[in-house]
Amino acid sequence: MTSGVQDLGGADIILDTVAGSYLQRNLNAYKPGGRMITIGKQGGASDTLDFSMLMKKKLTLIGSLLRDRTTEEKARIMEETTRIVWPLLEAGKIQTTTDRVFALSEVVAAHAYFDSGQHIGKVLLDCRS
């Protein structure tokens, strides 16, 4: 993940659902002043954090969960996302990177590719077919 992002100047924001095993990779990917928002821990709940890198790059780390929020809080987050984020995506002001799209029938291969860590960006399943 990091070499491609670093080639583009680094990441401003990473929305991290993996945590533990991706911590160092994510820290390497940031440009100075970047922000990491961790919302999941699929890669484990802990790892070693090099605080000198955190300080040198002036990074901000944020942790949050959606699971334990009330239905009203989740609805507000969805409304704000729809109102604020989607227009920025549609206008091209926020860009995401799709690495590969797999047919739903290739779900095992998609998971293997994702788990290999070779991807830069999203690995998607096409559920239309």
Q: Summarize pLDDT for 64-116 with one digit per residue, the tens.
A: 888 888 999 999 999 999 999 999 999 988 878 899 999 999 999 999 998 88
Does residue 28 lie in a domain region?
A: yes
Residue 4 lies in a domain: yes
What is the rounded average pLDDT of the residues 33-51? 86
Q: Return the pLDDT at 71.
A: 94
Question: What is the CATH number for 49?
Answer: 3.40.50.720
Residue 2's pLDDT band (cuts 50, 70, 90): very low
Residue 9 belongs to some domain of the structure: yes
Domain membership flag for residue 3: yes
As a whole number of Å, the CA-based R_g of the chain is 16
The answer to whether residues 66 and 74 touch, using CB atoms and an 8 Å cutoff, is yes
Host domain of residue 27: 1-64
Q: What predicted TM-score, i.e. pTM, was given to this entire model?
A: 0.63
Quick check: 12 pLDDT over 50?
yes
In a domain, 98, yes or no: no
Contact 98, 121 (CB under 8 A): yes
Full DSSP string of 12-44: EEEEESS-GGGHHHHHHHEEEEEEEEE---TT-
Residue 129: pLDDT band with limits 50, 70, 90:
low
Number of domains in the chain: 1
Q: Does the residue 73 lie in any domain?
A: no
